[in-house]
A and B are shown apart, each in its own frame.
Chain A
Amino acid sequence: MKHLRSISELGSEGLHRILQLTENMAEINSRPVPKVPALRGKTVVSLFFEDSTRTRLSFETAAKRLSAETMTFSVSTSSVNKGESLRDTIETITDMGVHAFVVRHKSVGVPWQIAQWTNASIVNAGDGAHQHPTQALVDCYTVREALGTKDLSGIHLTIVGDIKHSRVARSNIQAFSMLGAKITLVAPPTLLPVNVDHWPVTVSNDLDSVLDKTDVLYMLRLQSERMAQGLVPSLHEYSTRFGLDDERVAKLPSRSVVMHPGPMNRGVEMLIDPSEIPNSLIHRQVTNGVSVRMAVLFDLLSAEELS
């Protein structure tokens, strides 16, 4: 595998391969010294044109645990501020000799665009509202781990919130479909994409009616700027209809799990403290994030000379 830019590029075979490899990486992370020399001599650059806490740090932790060198590009202190173009930035960093770019950008398609300007591997860490494939890998791995089964066929996944603007939702719908899960989207009509009929999902506007059939409840962050765009009448109305509170948690079947990709908006989509949710996987998602990203970097960079 040369690049990881979308779940469809990864494919079903690649998805299973990465999830399998993640188990090895999770074992390494459980060792007293969680570091192996597998990617010695490789350099990974994280190139974040959008803010991030967990994705950037977990990629950098993953690279370090595999003994790769890491470079961090932070836009606010770079020559982008002097007007340097994206292309010149990529070509400049490439000239320094790097093996992988981990890139996040507000525009859809940037990972494909920059792949034309460098021979390094590209990992998409989020492009606009399009894809966030490593988050989907993290979520698939976390659900398999929590349910104790590799077979997710027939599992009911309910994704709640701003589907329209969510790259996490798009990647997760593809990945969980590949593993056979049944997916229900719950959102106000203004926060659903226009082409949702073509997706392999069921759509509902009523969260309470789907809770008792839900195995995995996936809460998305409501981006506050959506209210300014008039897509949501008020935060209060949104959280009343689509927020997770203790009453709704109580309606979930006892073995159901709750997930959130972070960062959480407490008081908007999360009206309950996550520590009070019996089967919250929110912390497992962050922990597994490191193992999954180790598996991705290893898969991209270990076989480089072979291809």
Chain B
Amino acid sequence: MSGPDIARAISRIAHEIVERNHGIEHVVLVGLQRGGTWIADALGERISSIEPSFAIPVGSLDPTMHRDDIGLRPVVAGSVSHIPCDITGATVVLVDDVLYTGRTVRAALEGLNNFGRPRAVQLAVLVDRGHRELPIRPDYVGKNLPTQTTDEVDVSIDGVIVTSITGNQS
């Protein structure tokens, strides 16, 4: 995926979020630290141009402390969570760059409980690379990208780069 592809995917997902929720009243975007926050911001901007009558709240969540693999891998001091409004009764759209095993999303779902009880939680990702280890599926996908477990997937505003273990980039 190139930079313009990313912009198109964000634009499409923005429309899908508005359509699926019949508007954006009671919808809150929450980007997962750190890769999902800029995408949540971009989605928020796009949605406000589609539905200018509502300001959609955009927040962020650091699920690090809720992970199930603390102690099994180095934990980087993450970023601070910021939930801009009461999420009880709201529809929360979690936003991340890459969906892989699903463990980050599981941790985020648990972390979200600390802030309130949303009416519903949806999941938007730019890249679904497969290899799920938990029963978690996305509601909005930028692109399904078949990968090896040994690949590394990097998403930025300029595009998606998959680096395989042999060093080939695509």
Q: In whole Å, how far is B16's beta carbon from the nearest beta carbon of chain A?
A: 30
Contacts of B73 in A (CB 8 A): 306
Asked whether any CB of chain A lies closer than 8 Å to the CB of B71, the reply is yes
Q: A306 to B75, alpha carbons, bound, how many Å?
A: 10
Interface residues of B (CB under 8 A from A): 62, 64-67, 70-75, 77-82, 110-111, 113-116
Q: Given A17-B77, A24-B77, A27-B81, does the pair A37, B113 have CB atoms closer than 8 Å?
A: no
Contact with B along A270-307 (1 / 0, CB 8 A): 00000000000000000000000000001000111110
Contacts of B81 in A (CB 8 A): 27-28, 31
Partner of A36, one of B75, B79, B114: B114
The tally of residues in A whose CB lies under 8 Å from a CB in B reads 23
B66 in contact with A36 (CB, 8 Å): yes
Q: In whole Å, how far is B92's beta carbon from the nearest beta carbon of chain A?
A: 15
User: With contacts defined as CB atoms under 8 Å apart, how many contacts are there between chain A and chain B in the complex?
Assistant: 57
Asked whether any CB of chain B lies closer than 8 Å to the CB of A250, the reply is no
A38 in contact with B115 (CB, 8 Å): no
Asked whether any CB of chain B lies closer than 8 Å to the CB of A23, the reply is yes
A302 in contact with B70 (CB, 8 Å): yes
Contact with B along A36-61 (1 / 0, CB 8 A): 11110000000000000000000000
Contacts of A35 in B (CB 8 A): 114
Query: 17 interchain pairs (CB within 8 A)?
Result: A24-B65, A24-B77, A24-B79, A27-B62, A27-B80, A28-B65, A28-B114, A31-B114, A31-B115, A32-B115, A36-B111, A37-B65, A39-B70, A302-B71, A303-B71, A305-B71, A306-B73
Q: Given A33-B114, A305-B71, does the pair A38, B66 have CB atoms closer than 8 Å?
A: yes
What does DSSP make chain B's interface, helix, strand, loop or mixed?
A: loop
A37 in contact with B110 (CB, 8 Å): yes
Q: A295 to B113, alpha carbons, bound, how many Å?
A: 22
A302 in contact with B75 (CB, 8 Å): yes
Which residue of chain B has the shortest Cβ distance to A33 in the bound complex?
B114
Asked whether any CB of chain B lies closer than 8 Å to the CB of A20, the reply is yes
Q: A17 to B64, alpha carbons, bound, how many Å?
A: 16
Q: In whole Å, how far is A69's beta carbon from the nearest beta carbon of chain B?
A: 16
Q: In whole Å, how far is A245's beta carbon from the nearest beta carbon of chain B?
A: 39
Contacts of A23 in B (CB 8 A): 80
Partner of B77, one of A21, A31, A36: A21
Q: In whole Å, how far is A157's beta carbon from the nearest beta carbon of chain B?
A: 26
Contacts of A20 in B (CB 8 A): 77
Q: A283 to B79, alpha carbons, bound, how many Å?
A: 25
Q: In whole Å, how far is B36's beta carbon from the nearest beta carbon of chain A?
A: 17
Q: A27 to B79, alpha carbons, bound, how many Å?
A: 10
Q: In whole Å, how far is A40's beta carbon from the nearest beta carbon of chain B?
A: 9
Contacts of A28 in B (CB 8 A): 65, 81, 114
A36 in contact with B71 (CB, 8 Å): no
